Amino acid sequence: MNNEQKEALKTLKIARGQIEAAIRMLEEGRYCIDISNQIMAGQSLLKKSNLLILKQHMDHCVLEAYKNDDPEEKINEVIDILSKLLD
């Protein structure tokens, strides 16, 4: 596991904690704005971890495909995922 993957895993685990906290807050009937802030914190961490994974993909998979003169498939994968992120 490389550094980006380790950092993404760490960030995902923190996001899991944020989501679990939001669930508890809902179950406890806590204030809506506080719950919303908790959810947004989780979303932010999920975005961060996704960017780390995409960076790892670019740095390793796409670069390796480029070195082997076959980058088209990997580039198309990145374009597909970016189009999903922008929807």
For the chain, the domains span 3-86
Residue 22 tokens read as 């939001």
Distance in angstroms (rounded) separating the CA atoms of residues 85 and 9: 20
48: amino acid identity, one letter: K
Top-tier CATH class for 3-86: mainly alpha
* pLDDT of 85 over the 90 cut: no
* pLDDT of 87 over the 90 cut: no
Q: What is the pLDDT of residue 66?
A: 87
**Residues 13-50: pLDDT tens digits?**
999 999 999 999 999 999 999 999 999 999 999 999 99
Q: What is the pTM of this model?
A: 0.83
